[in-house]
Amino acid sequence: MTRFIFITGGVVSSLGKGLASAALGALLQARGFKVRLRKLDPYINVDPGTMSPYQHGEVFVTEDGAETDLDLGHYERFTGVNALRTDNVTTGQIYSKVIAKERRGEYLGATIQVIPHITDAIKEFVMSDLDGEDFMLCEIGGTVGDIEGLPFLEAIRQLGNELGRERSMFMHLTLLPYVAAAGELKTKPTQHSVKELQSVGIQPDLLLCRADRPIPDSERRKVALFCNVRTEAVVPALDVETIYQVPLTYHEQGLDSEVLRHFNIAAPPLKLDRWQEIVRRVMAPEGEVAIAIVGKYTGLHDAYKSLAEALTHGGIANNVRVNVKWLESEIFENENTVTHLEDVHGILVPGGFGERGSEGKINAARFARERHVPYFGICFGMQMAVIEAARNLVGIKGASSTEFGACSDPLVGLMTEWEQGGVKQVRSEDTDKGGSMRLGAYPAALSANSKVRSIYGSGSISERHRHRYEVNPAYEAQLAKAGLVFSGKSPDGVLPEIVEIPDHPWFIGVQFHPELKSRPFDPHPLFTDFIRAAVEQSRLV
Ligand code: GLN
């Protein structure tokens, strides 16, 4: 029997609802339950794939090729459970589905309304595609009071009734702000937020209260009294130093036991040793390395969420702290790379789109290649490294990507046909921007004696993709002669998946996004080895 925990947020956004949900998932899992997490996003976009990373942060890609909210990345990193396309939905998707059904005449002439048609479609999504989970955690995006969120709140209110208390629970994340003039944590915003929820018919069962200092018992009791919950169900969520402490601190504050009490389940034993070990390593590293991330959205770190986490995981594996130096690639178009990159032990050029900043990324790749600094190019970062090698190693001056317009030497070009799971996929220059990339897990074969083969310890891998352009296989021989080899390809040998420079301490470019599969308790081998190489580099400089 699957139980549903609905998680809403109030007072302000950015309280870490995704992390809180992921941490609760991790705790229930640590008690031996099978868990899964879902995100219901009230915005009208069909998916976050076409949203600006500056507004929405990273686009997380699932194994089955859905472009989703970055919270799914937290879910995967905290539980190790791969998310699916059916774990993220938006208002845009719900409406598209309902309208398509109406056009097909499937509502038999009924007047289509938010209640019941939109709410039914939301409920159907929540209840769909279950696989014997003990707990399904459903996070509602946004903040209570948002107009867009109302149909979602109505849908979960109805579900609460239909499932009954023994199968459903409402958890609300709020903030108790500290007001210096009063010298107190304030409960009023939380009271208002709960009133807002109650006005749409939802009585929260548990309040998770963020605060920057311990919440006095008197305030806990006050929140309980005014918000109509038990005092034990007002759970403090205090600020921590590393996000991987969150499951441990929530447990100490009684979150998981309170949830189990609600469902009337005798608490099974809890195994938290893997979290304790991760926190121990993060808090007491034996050294540190500096890694430059040369990107286009470095002003908003959420745009590179999984990447930053994967670097941390690589640090955990090597017992070092990874200090990230965020660099906007455009600066290298006017300033010397040397001034900014001389003090780092590794350079990472992440995924990206569009021409702006691309020359700066090419310059960063050149610096890494010529100065023997470990270089990790991911997706766009691989493509730029290939262009750099073509221009400066092979001497093809016009080398570029057709992503930036027509060029004499398309080292990177648009793929118009490829195969996925035996089905031919076709696209052209003017295909819709949304959902039209090579997305999700694809296998690759690694060549014998390559660096990547020894790093993975295997000749065949599967990694997640999100790109429209491919490195042009026609230049393979010329590049190989100059020292950059294609060491990973699609199993049919057609698409270049990985490039490396054998005669360099660590120069690897991958067409896929390994950061999406890294976990704190299972760091991705490429990140582990990149950080290992950076540690070696730090001993040289
Ligand atoms: N813009 C490039 C492409 O579409 C790279 C995409 C990426 O880095 N995710 O192929």
What CATH number does the domain containing 476 carry? 3.40.50.880
Distance from the alpha carbon of residue 295 to the mean position of ligand 1, in angstroms: 13
Q: Which atom belonging to ligand 1 lies closest to the Cα atom of 437?
A: 4
Which atom of ligand 1 lies at the shortest distance from residue 379's CA?
8
- Contacting residues for 440 by C-beta, under 8 A, at least 6 apart: 61, 62, 63, 64, 65, 66, 420, 464, 465
Mark whether 407 and 469 lie in a shared domain.
yes
**Nearest 10 degrees: CA dihedral of 347, 348, 353, 355?**
10
Are 248 and 303 within one domain?
Answer: no
333/99 Cα distance (integer angstroms): 48
Mutate to test the pocket of ligand 1, among 329, 379, 465 (most ligand atoms within 8 A of CB): 379
Q: Residue 112: inside a domain, yes or no?
A: yes
**Most distant CA pair in the chain, distance:** 75
Cα of 48 to ligand 1 centre, how many Å?
A: 16
Tell me, yes or no, whether 214 lies in a domain.
yes
b/e code 510-521 from CB counts within 10 Å (16+ = b): bbbbbbbbbbbe
Three state DSSP letters for 403-469: HHCCCCEEEEEECCEEEECCEEEECCCCCCCCCCCEEEEEEEEECCCCHHHHHHCCCEEEEEEEECE
Is 92 in contact with 122 (CB distance < 8 Å)?
Answer: no
- Which atom of ligand 1 lies at the shortest distance from residue 352's CA? 8
Q: Is residue 258 part of a domain?
A: yes
Separation CA 244–CA 312 (nearest Å)? 11
d(CA 451, CA 447) in angstroms, rounded, equals 9
In this structure, the residue with its CA closest to atom 7 of ligand 1 is: 351
Question: For position 13, what pLDDT does the model report?
Answer: 84
Supply the residues annotated as catalytic. Answer: 379, 513, 515
Distance from residue 470's CA to the centre of ligand 1 (Å): 8
Q: Are residues 293 and 148 in the same domain?
A: no
Tens-digit pLDDT profile for the chain (541 aa)? 999 999 999 988 888 999 999 999 999 999 999 999 999 999 999 888 878 878 788 999 999 999 999 999 999 999 999 999 999 999 999 999 999 999 999 999 899 999 999 999 999 999 999 999 999 999 999 999 999 999 999 999 999 999 999 999 999 999 999 999 999 999 999 999 999 999 999 999 999 999 999 999 999 999 999 999 999 999 999 999 999 999 999 999 999 999 999 999 998 999 999 999 999 999 999 999 999 999 988 888 889 999 999 999 999 999 999 999 999 999 888 777 778 899 999 999 999 999 999 999 999 999 999 999 999 999 999 999 999 999 999 999 999 999 999 888 999 988 766 555 666 666 666 666 555 688 999 999 999 999 999 999 999 999 999 999 999 999 999 999 999 999 999 999 989 999 999 999 999 999 999 999 999 999 999 999 999 999 999 998 6
- Cα gap 222→188, rounded to integer Å: 10
Instruction: Give CA–CA dist 530/54, Å, rounded.
Output: 27
Residues 6 or more apart whose CB falls under 8 angstroms from that of 245 comprise 279
Q: Which protein residue has the closest C-alpha to ligand 1 atom 9?
A: 351
What is the residue-wise DSSP string for 16-35?
A: -HHHHHHHHHHHHHHTT--E
**One domain for residues 133 and 111:** yes
> What is the Å distance from ligand 1's center to 243 Cα?
29
Is residue 275 a contact partner of residue 79, using CB atoms and an 8 Å limit?
A: no
Q: By alpha-carbon position, which residue is closest to atom 1 of ligand 1?
A: 353
- Nearest-atom index, ligand 1, CA of 378: 8
* CATH at 207: 3.40.50.300
Last residue within a domain, chosen from 258, 277, 296: 277
Q: Do 214 and 310 lie in a common domain?
A: no
**Nearest-atom index, ligand 1, CA of 469:** 10
Cα of 452 vs centre of ligand 1, distance in Å, is 21
Residues 239 and 320 in one domain: no
Q: What is the pLDDT of residue 433?
A: 59
Residue of the nearest CA to atom 8 in ligand 1? 351
Are the CB atoms for 344 and 373 separated by under 8 Å?
yes
C-alpha 536 – ligand 1 centre gap (Å)? 30
**pLDDT (0 to 100) of residue 430:** 62
**Cα of 340 to ligand 1 centre, how many Å?**
25
282 located within any domain: no
Do 44 and 129 fall within a single domain? yes
pTM of the full structure = 0.93
Q: What's the CA-to-centroid distance between 469 and ligand 1, angstroms?
A: 6
Q: How far is the CA of 13 from the centre of ligand 1 (A)?
A: 30
Q: b/e map of 292-319 (b: 16 or more CB within 10 Å)?
A: bbbbbbbebeebbbbbbbbbbbbbbbbe
Instruction: Give, for ligand 1, the residue of 296, 376, 403, 431 to mutate: max count of ligand atoms closer than 8 Å to Cβ.
Output: 403
Q: Which of 252, 277, 302 is the last residue of a domain?
A: 277
For ligand 1, mutation pick of 50, 382, 383 (most atoms within 8 Å of CB) = 383
Closest-CA residue, ligand 1 atom 6, reads: 467
If one counts the domains in the chain, the total is 2
Inside any domain, residue 283 = no
Could you identify the atom of ligand 1 that is nearest to the CA of residue 470? 10
Structural domain boundaries, residue 298: 288-540
User: Which residues line ligand 1 at a C-beta cut-off of 6 Å?
Assistant: 351-353, 379-380, 403, 466-469
Q: Are residues 258 and 308 in the same domain?
A: no
Give the mutation target among 67, 439, 466 for probing the ligand 1 site: most ligand atoms within 8 A of CB.
466
Is the same domain home to 256 and 368?
no
| pLDDT (0 to 100) of residue 415 | 73
Domain presence at residue 314: yes
Do 293 and 162 share a domain, yes or no?
Answer: no
Q: Whose CA is nearest to atom 5 of ligand 1?
A: 380
- Which one of 254, 277, 300 terminates a domain? 277
- Compute φ and ψ for 286, nearest 5 degrees: -95, -5
Atom of ligand 1 minimally distant from the CA of 412: 10
* 180 lies in the same domain as 312: no
Check residue 247 and give its pLDDT: 96
Centroid of ligand 1 to alpha carbon of 146 (angstroms): 33
Residue 22 covered by a domain: yes
Residue among 58, 355, 378, 468 to mutate when testing ligand 1 (max atoms within 8 A of CB): 468
Atom nearest to 403 CA in ligand 1: 1
Residues 307 and 371 in one domain: yes
